[in-house]
Amino acid sequence: MITKRIIPCLDVRDGRVVKGVNFKGLSDVSSPVELGQYYSDNGADELVFYDITASSEGRALFTDILRRVAERIFIPLTVGGAINTVEDFDRVLKCGADKVSVNSGAIRDPDLIYAAAKKYGSQCVVLSADVKRVDGRFTLFAKGGRENTGLDAIEWIKRAVQRGAGEIVLNSIDTDGVKRGFDLEMLSAVCQEVSVPVIASGGAGCAEDFVTLFKTLPRVDAGLAASVFHFGEVSIPQLKAQLRDNGIPVRI
């Protein structure tokens, strides 16, 4: 039985984790290496590192950090943020990333998905989509949710899968930060249309939200969150025990 994945997401700027986390036993709360190790030791099934650096110096720092993470942490690593070209894929894969997540870069150049999937395989290409309801329609947003593309999100995701995206991270802007649960309606709409793994993102406020997610939508493969894990509102070992007690298969 394949298990449901729990994935913490870490935002990294200039080589440091933004919104430093405060866990007991962590000496450097903003070190991606230490924090990644902490999550890996505490049941995370995969880690997402999101590079929010603006400068090219920061970019080089990020790849150096990634290499140090990959030397010590032996679970799948996904990297996102400022992935615009196949060269960007190459840069992070060489440093130990297993998957690369594309968002605005693929909206600007939809061929990026096909080119990357052809070169590295679909399993390596993750489409991250920021989606918001506009006049009752699921609409795709770019640039970290700031720009309305006017595109129908479901159509966009379907096309991305046809072009070779091997996984979808669906981030609901409507529920993001609200902490009252994942966007089940939006997730359901996407799961009905694609056959690749779907990762839910945006809205987790407590462990119960993950239970509801996997119970209501068995086709969702993973739950991704940032602040609820970082601020200790949800502990991954406790969350997994709760999922297991609810009959949801997890890796303990």
Partner 1 sequence: MVAIVDYGVGNLFSLKSSLAYIGEEAVVTSEPKTLERAERIILPGVGAFADAAEKLSGCGLDKTVKALAEAGKPLMGICLGMQLLFDKSFEFGETAGLGLVRGEVKPIEPVIPKDYKVPHIGWNALRFSERGRADGIFKYIKDGDCVYFVHSFAATGCGESLLASAEYGAELTAAVRSGSVFGMQFHPEKSGDVGLKILKAFCEI
Interacting residues of 234 by C-beta distance below 8 A, sequence separation 6+: 204, 206, 207, 210, 225, 228
Binding piece for partner 1, criterion CB under 8 A, among 91-99, 104-112, 135-143, 180-188:
91-99
Distances (CA, A) of 45 to 5, 75, 123, 251: 6, 7, 16, 8
Closer by beta carbon to partner 1, 74 or else 136: 74
Should residue 166 be labelled a site residue for partner 1 when binding is judged by CB under 8 A? yes
Among 31, 40, 53, 128, binds partner 1 (CB under 8 A): 40
CB of 54 to partner 1, least distance (A): 26
CA-closest candidate to residue 106, choices 59, 168, 53: 168
Q: Does 96 bind partner 1 (CB under 8 A)?
A: yes
Tell which one of 123, 188, 235, 242 touches partner 1 (CB under 8 A). 123
Under the criterion CB under 8 A, does residue 76 sit at the interface with partner 1?
yes
Beta partners for 132?
A: 139
Asked if 104 contacts 160 with a C-beta cutoff of 8 angstroms, the reply is: no
**Chain residues 175-204 in contact with partner 1, contact rule CB under 8 A:** 195-197
Q: Which residues are catalytic?
A: 11, 130
Would you say 151 and 129 are in contact if contact means Cβ atoms under 8 Å apart?
Answer: no
Pairing relationship of beta strands 125-134 and 99-102 according to DSSP bridges? parallel
225 and 8 Cβ atoms separated by less than 8 Å: yes
CB 108, min distance to partner 1, A:
26
Site for partner 1 in 204-243 (CB under 8 A): 219, 221-222
Closer of 222 and 225 to partner 1 (Cβ): 222
Name the DSSP letter for residue 93. Answer: H
Binding residues (CB under 8 A) for partner 1: these are 1-3, 5, 40, 45, 67, 70-72, 74-76, 93-96, 98, 121-123, 166-167, 195-197, 219, 221-222, 251
